[in-house]
Chains A and B, each alone.
Chain A
C-alpha cells in the first residue's frame, strides 16, 4: 500500500509547462559556496530555521542513545566511527552541506547535475520525467532524482537512498524515505534549497530544513577530492584514531 502511494506521487510529479515559462527559468549553473549568513547578512538571504526532527519512539530511543554516546566520546577527546571517517561519501541529503565545500550546478535542458567538492559526489536530476517505482530503484547513495520547474523554483523528488546511508543529522531512515527539494534564487547570487524529508516508517512527521548557497566567482575551479591518504582508522572500541608516521 505504501509502495503504491509513493508510486502515485511519482506519477503525479510529471507535469509539462508552456514554452514561455521555460524561457523565464533562472540559471543555477555555477559554483556555489555554503552560505549560513553571518554578521551583517541581509535577513532575506538567511535560510529559515530548521523544523523539528521527531522520530517515532522505537527509533528515537536508539538515536538519542547514539547521540549521547557521541557527545560522551567527544568529551573524552574521541570520535566514534562513522562512514566519513572511513572515507565513505555522504550521499543524499548530507552531501549538499559538507563543511565549507562548494557545490557546482550544471543546468541543461533535460538534466541538472550537482557536484559536491567534498568526495567529488555527483547527483543527477532528470527533468520532466516520471519518478520510477520504488521497487525499480536500486538503493544507493544518491537514489534517483527527478525534477520539474514551478516558475523559478526547481522542485526535485528523490527516492532510493540506502538505509545504511546516514540521514539528516544522523537520523535513521527506511527504504521509504522520500526527499523533496525546492531550489530557488532568493537574490541573484543567493540560492536556497528547502529540503523536506518524509519517511512514514521512521518519522512522526516530515522534517524540513533549508540550506543556503552563495554564488562563487566564475573563475573558481572545482578541486578534485580522491580519498587516497586516509590516516584515520577505527580501533577495537569503535573509536577513530590517527595513524602517525615515524619519518
Chain B
C-alpha cells in the first residue's frame, strides 16, 4: 500500500502533469511511517491543503504538537472525508509520512476517526 504514491508520482511525471495542485511530496519521507495517537486541536478544511493539528502525549506524559498535511477538500471528499469528519477534542489515530527534516509535521497516510472509520488521503493514497 505504501507503494501507491511513488507509482502515482511516476505516472504523473511520465505525463508531465502536476501530481498535486500545489507542491511535490519531496519534503516528506514517503518510505517511513509514524503512528500518532492524540487529541485533535483543529481540523482545517482548506486549500491548497487541509490540515489536522494534533497533540500527541508521549509515554512520559509530555505532549508534542504535530501539524499534519492532507490533500485538498476536492481530493479528500473523493475518499469519504467531510469538513466535519474531525473536530477539536476528537481522539484520532493518524498514520503519517514524516517530514524529512525531523520537524513535527507530516503527510497523512491514513486516519482512524473517533467512530472507528478509517480514511485515506485521497483516491489511491490509502
Residue positions of A touching B, CB distance < 8 A: 34, 36, 50, 73-74, 77-79, 84-85, 87, 90, 94, 97-101, 117-119, 168-169, 209, 223, 225-232, 240-242, 244-247
| Sample of 5 further A-B pairs with CB below 8 A, known A74-B24, A74-B26, A79-B24 | A77-B27, A226-B47, A231-B69, A242-B99, A244-B105
Closest A residue to B24 by beta carbon equals: A79
B17 to chain A, nearest CB (A): 4
* Partner among A117, A227, A247 whose Cβ is within 8 Å of the Cβ of B48: A227
Count chain B CB atoms within 10 A of each CB in A50, A73, A84, A244 and give the residue with the most: A244
**Chain B residues closer than 8 Å to A227, beta-carbon distance:** 47-48
Report Cα–Cα, A84/B21, bound state, in Å.
Answer: 7
Known A97-B17, A225-B47, A245-B67; judge A79-B26 contact (CB<8 A).
yes
In the bound complex, do residue A240 and residue B27 qualify as a contact, i.e. CB atoms below 8 Å apart?
yes
Given that A100-B123, A227-B48 are contacting pairs, would A242 and B17 also be in contact in the complex, using a CB cutoff of 8 Å? no
Q: Which residues of B contact A225 (CB under 8 A)?
A: 21, 47-48, 72-74
Please name the residue on chain A nearest to B22 by beta carbon: A84
Inter-chain CA distance A240–B51, complex, in Å, is 17
**Contact partners of A79 in chain B: CB under 8 A:** 23-24, 26-27
Dominant secondary structure of chain A at its interface with chain B: loop
Q: With a CB–CB cut-off of 8 A, which chain B residues contact A230?
A: 22, 48
Residues of A within 8 A of B34 (CB): none
Question: Is residue B113 within 8 Å, beta carbon to beta carbon, of the partner chain?
Answer: no
A-B contact pairs, 29 of them (CB 8 A): A36-B11, A74-B24, A79-B24, A79-B27, A84-B18, A90-B18, A94-B17, A97-B17, A98-B21, A99-B18, A99-B75, A101-B74, A101-B75, A117-B74, A118-B21, A118-B74, A119-B21, A168-B16, A223-B73, A223-B77, A225-B48, A225-B74, A229-B44, A229-B47, A231-B49, A231-B51, A232-B23, A244-B67, A244-B105
Q: Give A122 to B15 CA distance when docked, in angstroms.
A: 23
Interface mask (B1-44 → A, CB under 8 Å = 1, otherwise 0): 00000000001100111111111101101000000000001001
Q: Are A84 and B46 in contact (CB under 8 A)?
A: no
Name B residues whose Cβ lies closer than 8 Å to a Cβ of A: 11-12, 15-24, 26-27, 29, 41, 44, 46-49, 51, 53, 65, 67, 69, 72-75, 77-78, 99-101, 103-105, 122-123
Q: Which residues of B contact A209 (CB under 8 A)?
A: 16
Please determine whether B47 and A228 come into contact, CB atoms closer than 8 angstroms: yes
Which B residues touch A90, using CB under 8 A? 18
B23/A99 in contact, CB under 8 A: no
Interchain CB contact under 8 A, A87 and B23: no
In the complex the two chains form, is B27's CB within 8 Å of A241's CB? yes
Which partner residue on chain A sits nearest B123 by CB separation? A100
A117 surroundings in chain B (CB, below 8 A): 74
Q: State A50–B17 Cα separation when bound (angstroms).
A: 12
**What's the Cα separation between A185 and B103 when bound, in Å?**
48
Taken together as a complex, chains A and B put the C-alpha atoms of A119 and B73 apart, in Å, by 12
Given contacts A84-B18, A227-B47, A229-B44, contact A100 B75 (CB under 8 A): yes
Q: By the criterion CB–CB under 8 Å, are A78 and B48 in contact?
A: no
Chain A min CB distance to B99 (Å): 7
